[in-house]
Each structure stands twice: as C-alpha cells, then as structure tokens.
Chains A and B, each alone.
Chain A
Amino acid sequence: MRRDVFQAIADPTRRNILISLTSESKNINNLAEQFDMTRQAVSLHVKYLQECGVINIEKKGRERYCNLDVEKIVEVEKWLEPFKELWKIKFAQLDIVLEELKKKPK
C-alpha cells in the first residue's frame, strides 16, 4: 500500500524522528539511542517513513543512514501552508520587537 505524507507525520514518534533528521542524517543506531527504543522498533518506523517517501536511506559501509526528503514533505495539497506558518511566526516576533520600540522614549 502506498502511504502518504500525512500518514508519515500522524504518529508522534515518527514526527520526532523526522524532527531529529532536520539537523543531520542519522543511522538506525543513532535513532534507537536518541529515542531510547530498540533497533527493531526504530527500523519499523523508518521503514514506514521510507514507504511514505519522506526519508531516503543511504548505505554507508555497513550502516544505513536516514535522510529527510524535504521536498516530499512540502508536497502536500496545501503546499503553501508551511510557508504561511513561517510568516505568521516571523510577524509574531515582529509584534514583540514593535512593543519594545513603543516603550522607548522618542
């Protein structure tokens, strides 16, 4: 069964795995250690994420490294949504800067 992006991110552990992959590519052992899970449990999640197309697995020697496929994650029907979130957050930060500016004496 071909899975989609939403199924990938529906599970909180899978979301956490994806978040940890945003900073760097990791192998199964790294992930198992990081999330205090067995290798088997991590492998199952990783396989699921691979089926969803949101991660790619690269073999480096005996290790398999997981890489995030950001393009796939962005490829949702409302592809603009994350971009909107980004601007909403920037503007929320700007609100704070403006409050500071208002307090300064002219």
Chain B
Amino acid sequence: MNTTTFKTEEKKLTITRTFNAPLDLVWKAWTNPDFLDKWWAPKPMQSKTKSMDFKDGGSRLYAMVALNGDEHWAITFYKEIMVNSYFKGEHAFCDENAKINTEFPVGKFCNKFITLNESQTTVVRELTYTSEEHLKKMVEIGMKEGTSMIFENLDEYLKSFK
C-alpha cells in the first residue's frame, strides 16, 4: 500500500499520498458527491452528502453518520478551483441546515493534484489553522468522529509506541 506522509509546521499540516490511478479519476473521487460518500467517512461511519455545488463560491453540506445513527454535520466551502489541478476552501462544523457551529474554528485547506505518471497521481492536502491550539482542536474533533473505529485499530496504534 502507498504510504501517507504527514508534516506539521506550527499551524500547517500537510498530508501527502500517492494513488494508483490517473489524475482525472482521482480528481473525480475527490470532487463528486457520490464518490466522496464512498470513502470520506472511516468505516463503520457513513458519509452522507445533503447538497454539493462544486464551483467557486459553492459548498458541500454533509454528515458523518455513526453506527448508532448520530449525525455529525459539516460544511466545506469552495473558494478557488482549477480543474484537475487544485481546489482551495474552508471547512466548518454545523447543523443539518448549514448553521455554522461557532464554538469550533474554521479550517482552511488546499488540495493539490499532481500527475506522477500516467497511472499514478499524488495528492497534497494542506490544512492551515489560526493557531496550534486550533489545529489540535480540529484533530481532536476529527478523532471524535472516528473514535470507535480508531479503538478497533488500537493494537496497530499501540505498536507504533513500542
């Protein structure tokens, strides 16, 4: 399996991963709601897109649904899109009517798509926050979303500390 690399620099977190597919397919998987819903949520959670308008100024309103039916809503705002190259935007937590939860910070992201060769594409996802505390908070929330799944993988996680 291709490895995912992470780099943290103060308020920026960069996640890099190569996929064994040509750029146009990888772009589609990241920008089409039907495909996004297939991989965005870590199993056993399910991603459910309520609405998505992939264009400058558009947004995607979606929920991560837990096994017990709990829904965690979030919204992605698209600010700048260059097809098959990159797209930038912001991400926030909200309710099912897209009312932003102001308790949590808004994170900025930039996803870049780079052709490695005709059958491989590298995606570089940069997440920027207003402070390190903010980044930690976002990580915590992300953790909460996948907590039960993460505990199921706890054995693997523990090995990394040995």
Instruction: Give chain A's interface residues, CB within 8 Å of chain B.
Output: 6, 9-10, 15, 18-19, 22-24, 68, 70-71, 74, 78-99, 101-102
Contact = CB atoms under 8 A, between A and B. Distances in A.
A11 to B, nearest CB: 11
27 contacts: A9-B158, A15-B151, A19-B152, A24-B68, A70-B143, A70-B144, A70-B147, A74-B139, A80-B6, A80-B8, A82-B146, A84-B6, A85-B150, A85-B156, A87-B17, A89-B149, A91-B2, A93-B38, A93-B43, A94-B29, A95-B19, A95-B20, A97-B35, A98-B21, A98-B26, A99-B21, A101-B35
B39 A94 contact: yes
B143 A98 contact: no
Contact of B157 (A82, A87, A93, A99): A82
Contact of A93 (B15, B42, B160): B42
B154 A84 contact: no
B136 interface: yes
B28 interface: yes
Nearest to A6: B161
Interface string B102-130: 00000000000000000000000000000
A89 B153 contact: yes
A90 B42 contact: yes
Interface in B1-45: 1-2, 4, 6, 8, 13, 15, 17, 19-21, 25-26, 28-29, 35, 38-43
A96 B39 contact: yes
Given A86-B146, A87-B4, 11 more contacts: A23-B67, A82-B143, A87-B6, A89-B42, A90-B42, A91-B2, A94-B19, A97-B39, A99-B21, A101-B25, A101-B28
